[in-house]
Structure 1
Amino acid sequence: MRHLLALAIKFVMVAAVLLIVLTLIFDVSFVDTLLISLALTALSYAMGDIMIFLNAGRPENQSGRNTIATFVDFVMAFLTIWLIGWLLTGQNFEMVTPALVGALVLSAGEWFFHLYVDRSVVPEYNNYKSARS
């Protein structure tokens, strides 16, 4: 259940950022933005937040793990937004700037999302007391 809530929070964060950046600023269609958000949420939660963040170092080195996972999330977000945006819109080079801006903004949010994952989704990993306990 904690993972479902984390996925929902992440989707809202990703969709809000990408709707502002892609749809409002760069005129990507609403449906395309939601599809990119859905793909990016699933990919980055599984790889960036669970696999990489939890395994990038020792459990007590949260800052180091967070730095590595945030960098990986930036690269993954840029590539996902660019490639899926290119496939959906047919615009290759026109998607580079929106992908870069979106990935930068999302990376800032990812830093804080990793703190949430560490303390509320997998508190047993660091021996944190769960907020629900």
Structure 2
Amino acid sequence: MDYVKALIIKFIMCTAVIWIVLGAFYGVNFGQILMLSLIITGVSFVLGDLFILPKFENWGATIADFIIVFAIVWLYGANFINENIPLLTAAAITAAIIAIGEIFFHRYVDSRILHVDDRTDNRDNDNYIDIDHSELKTEFGEEIDPVPNDDDRNKR
């Protein structure tokens, strides 16, 4: 159910941004905006949010989403939008605004879907050693002298 909610949020965000940028400023019809939103939502959710986000954190997934949205808007516009618009500019503006929204969406996906609180926690690593920090000594602690004295030598 969390995946469905996330997909709906992402679809609404993409539709709103594309409708404002391509619909209001460039006159693209709403049917093409919905189709473009569906494509962007599906591709960027699978690639950006489920594949790249767990590996590269928020910054990597945001950059990937910018590239994905830019490429999809540019390719879709070149092949299906019959309006005479500056397509690279429209794709760049759309991708930049969606990427800003994705920063916040990735936080939602991290906490609600992936349940990743701290990626630097290596407890799943086989080489992880749990150290009780209260047992650590300092340089000025009262450790045993490493050079054995005469009493220690006689005990052997």
Q: By the TM > 0.5 criterion, same fold?
A: yes
Kindly state the Cα deviation for residue 33 of structure 1 after the two structures are TM-superposed. 0.9
Query: 1:8-87 to 2 correspondence within 5 Å?
Result: 8-56=8-56, 65-87=57-79
Q: TM-score, normalised by structure 2?
A: 0.71
Higher helix share: 1
Tell me the equivalent position of 1:61: none
Larger Rg: 2
User: Counterpart amino acid of 2:52?
Assistant: I
- Provide, for residues 53-88 of structure 1, a one-character-per-residue CA deviation record: whole Å limited to 9, x for no partner: 0122xxxxxxxx111110010011000011012211
Q: 1:74 touches 1:104 (CA, 8 Å); kept in 2?
A: yes
Percentage of matched positions with identical amino acids? 36
Q: TM-score, normalised by structure 1?
A: 0.83
Aligned counterparts of 1:86 and 1:36: Cα–Cα separation in 2: 12
SS at match of 2:86: helix
Bigger relative contact order (CA 8 A; separation at least 6): 1
Unaligned runs of 5+ in 1: 57-64, 128-133
Kindly state the Cα deviation for residue 38 of structure 1 after the two structures are TM-superposed. 0.5
- Provide, for residues 4-54 of structure 1, a one-character-per-residue CA deviation record: whole Å limited to 9, x for no partner: 110000000000010000101111111111111110000000000000001
Aligned counterparts of 1:78 and 1:91: Cα–Cα separation in 2: 18
Aligned counterparts of 1:47 and 1:54: Cα–Cα separation in 2: 11
CA 120–88 in structure 1, closer or farther in 2 if over 3 Å, else same:
same
> 4+ residue runs of structure 1 moved beyond 2 angstroms?
90-94
